[in-house]
Every structure is written in C-alpha cells, then in structure tokens.
Amino acid sequence: MPCSSSLTSCCASAHSSINTNIENDDNNNNGATPRNLKLNESSFLSSLMPKKEIGVDRFLHAHPSYDGRGALIAIFDSGVDPAAAGLQVTSDGKPKILDVLDCTGSGDVDTSKVVKADADGCISGASGASLVINASWKNPSGEWHVGYKFVYELFTEKLTSRLKKERKKKWDKKNQEEIAKAVKQLDDFDQQHAKIEDAELKKAREDLQNRVDLLRKQSESYDDKGPVIDVVVWHDGEVWRVALDTQSIEDDPDCGKLANFVPLTNYRIERKYGVFSKLDACTFVVNVYNDGKVVSIVTDSSPHGTHVAGIATAFHPEEPLLNGVAPGAQLISCKIGDSRLGSMETGTGLTRALIAAVEHKCDLINMSYGEPTLLPDYGRFVDLVNEVSSETLILTVPAVSFC
C-alpha cells in the first residue's frame, strides 16, 4: 500500500514546530507578525515542491546539468499516469516515461479466442456483441483475437463509486418512468373494465399488476456490475494492435464504437495512451503478450504513483518551481498495487517489477510502498533486491520514513 501511516503524526509535529517558531519570532519582527505576511504565488508554488529545505535548489544552481539527465528510474507503486502534466518530457527534451507496466496482472484480458470477420466486416465480440471492424486496419492474417473486461476491475475505488452513483441516478429515473407508464396502463385498464369476470381479462390485469410490482421490486435488488468493454487484438504485419469498444460506458450511442477507436500497441513502442470515456477521464495503456493471447490494460490503482513520480522527476518548463528533484531523469512505471486487492502489493508483482527494472537497465528503483512488518529486511523479495543490487548496481530507495 502507499506509504502514509505516520504522515499524520509527522504533520502534527511540523505544525507544532511552526507554531513554536512563530511565537518565538513574534517579538523580534518589529510588529510584522505572520498574520501580516501574505503568501504570494511564487512562495505558494515553491511550497508544493519544497526543494529548498533539502538543498536541491542550491545544488542545481551550482550544477545545472546535474538534474538526473541520463538516469532511468523505476517507480514501484500504484502506477503512473502517462497523461500527467510534468511527466511528458525531460529537461533536455527526451520522452519522460519510457514504459508503463502492470506487474500485478489485475488488468489482464484473455484474448485467446480467435474469430474472423464476415462479409459485412463484422465480428462477434467476446461479450456477444456484434462489432464493426474499421476497414482501414491492416490485418494480413484476417484473424482477430477477442476478449472482454468488466471496466470496474480497471478503475480505482473512488472512480467506481462515482460512476455507480451517476449510473444509479440515471437508472432510477428510467425505472420511475417505466413504473409511471405501467401504473397508468393498469389504471386505464381498470377504468375500461369496471367488472372483470372473463378469465382472459383477469389474466391481463394480473400481468399488468405483476409488471408494476416487478418494476418496484427491482430497484431494491439493483446491483451494478459495471459496463463491459470488448477488446480486439490483431497483428498488422509489424506489431500487435489493440482496439476497445466502450459503447457501454458512453451516454451517446454514437460514441465508443470499436471502429472509431485509434488502435494502440505496447506502450514502450509508440508511447501512446487512450481514455475510456469522457465520463471517467481515465487514461490507460496496453501491452500485448503471448502472441496476442493476453492483453494487459494498465490503469492506476491510486494517484499515489503519479505523485511520487512527480516528486522525483517532474519537469514543468513553464513553471520551474514545480519541477521535481531530478527533472532530467526518465522513468518506467511498474504497477505493483493490485487493483483486485485494494492496491495491495504481492510477491509476484514485486518480482515482475524487479525483472522489468533489470531488463530496462534502470539506475534507480523508487519504492514508496508497503505496510508495517514484523520482520523487516526479510523474505524472498528482499533477497532478490540484494542480489540485483550487487550484480547490476541498481540502487533501491524505499520511502521508509513514511512507513
């Protein structure tokens, strides 16, 4: 989990210290008490990224080119948003994020099923939906791998909660409209038939009454499992391509169609990402494995990883005060927070992340993640980290001060 267990106590101590310093300084400021001081934009922005307190500003002033250039950092965390401001390019113009990986497997989609398009250019998606293929997509083999995913499995708990509330509100409105129609039909029937003696009429009225009762009861058993998105994978002769059909998420029936999706490939190849819909504004990347049989849809399990990446490497050319400690460094994102476990990390995810760091020849691993433990510096993962550090000289930096 993201490290924050002692943040409250740290903040409380800092707040107490600040108050003490204010009281001590009040008598030496010639009446200029903190209440008279105004926080300008510059001081506010610098407080968001307090580099002065640890001497980073002085170091970079003395050595402008020693800003992380040439260094590659692996962020072991909840995932880094590839669309985040400040995480697009380095201070020397290179791409900031070189790869985005889900080491947990929580975004994996089984796309082992293969189908072919019919004469009209349509295929049957894994969800059962009929999908229209974009005629401009190159697919020499004519084989389309299909799979599906419940989209709530990819979203954070807060985003899922928001979407469920919005969808429930819309569903309630439609359900109430249907109840009103059913009640009106029943009332009209009763007005037209004052006495019901015929068996067919009795059956008709019973059906109308049952419809009203069913519509009223279904609101009590409402359970939103979430929209299902169809995933289609194919090889264009050079790389594996992925397209999603997200019509089930959109309000507009003309949006989210498979044929309108801009195909993606493994992030490290083209460094492109997608957004599911305007309703969620959730960015994602894809990676294809096992010859198209598995697609990994990578999303964040929380904003923590993006926050950490910003502290380490953010570069804001228009507002340098918001730069991270090493704006020249590049990074890879290794998601170790499993979305299925409330962003808890697992041994499998940690090991996969470590393998990725070695394969990318990273210089540094930043891991601001974990929980209290009975036996620190103990276990299989710790042994692997020590082994990697000794053989590859990769430096691992855990954020122990917040755990």
Query: What letter represents residue 52's amino acid?
Result: K
Strands 294-298 and 330-335: unpaired
Provide the residue ranges of all domains of the chain, joining segments of one domain with +: 1-6+67-107+299-403, 108-154+227-268, 157-218
pLDDT, one tens digit per residue, over 240-285 is 999 999 999 998 888 999 999 999 999 999 999 999 998 999 999 9
Query: What letter represents residue 248's amino acid?
Result: S
What is the pLDDT averaged over residues 375-384?
86
pLDDT, one tens digit per residue, over 198-228 is 888 889 999 999 999 999 998 888 899 999 9
Model confidence at 297, pLDDT cuts 50, 70, 90, reads very high
> Which of 197-211, 246-260, 288-302, 367-381 has maximum average pLDDT?
288-302
Q: Residue 345's closest CA among 137, 105, 87? A: 105
Predicted local distance difference test score (pLDDT) of residue 375: 81
Query: What letter represents residue 280's amino acid?
Result: D
Say what the alpha-carbon torsion angle 189, 193, 199, 203 is, to the nearest 10 degrees.
10
Distance CA 103, CA 349 (A): 5
Q: Could you tell me if residue 207 is left (phi over 0), alpha (psi between -120 and 50 degrees) or otherwise beta?
A: alpha
Percent of the chain with pLDDT over 70: 88
Predicted local distance difference test score (pLDDT) of residue 275: 96
Q: Residue 72's closest CA among 298, 331, 290? A: 331
Distance CA 259, CA 120 (A): 13
pLDDT, one tens digit per residue, over 104-130 is 999 999 999 999 999 999 999 999 999
Predicted local distance difference test score (pLDDT) of residue 236: 97
Model confidence at 5, pLDDT cuts 50, 70, 90, reads very low
DSSP letter assigned to residue 403: -
Predicted local distance difference test score (pLDDT) of residue 41: 67
Strands 122-124 and 364-367: unpaired
What is the pLDDT averaged over residues 336-364?
94
Model confidence at 374, pLDDT cuts 50, 70, 90, reads confident
What is the pLDDT averaged over residues 363-382?
86
Predicted local distance difference test score (pLDDT) of residue 335: 97
pLDDT, one tens digit per residue, over 36-52 is 545 566 777 777 888 88
What is the pLDDT averaged over residues 347-355?
94
What is the pLDDT averaged over residues 61-90?
95
pLDDT, one tens digit per residue, over 169-195 is 999 999 999 999 999 999 999 998 878
Q: What does CATH list as the number for 1-6+67-107+299-403?
A: 3.40.50.200
Is residue 76 within 8 Å of 397, Cβ to Cβ? no
Tokens matching residue 338? 């499993």
pTM across the whole model: 0.83
Model confidence at 8, pLDDT cuts 50, 70, 90, reads very low
Secondary structure of residue 274 in the 3-state scheme: strand
Model confidence at 24, pLDDT cuts 50, 70, 90, reads very low
Predicted local distance difference test score (pLDDT) of residue 49: 82
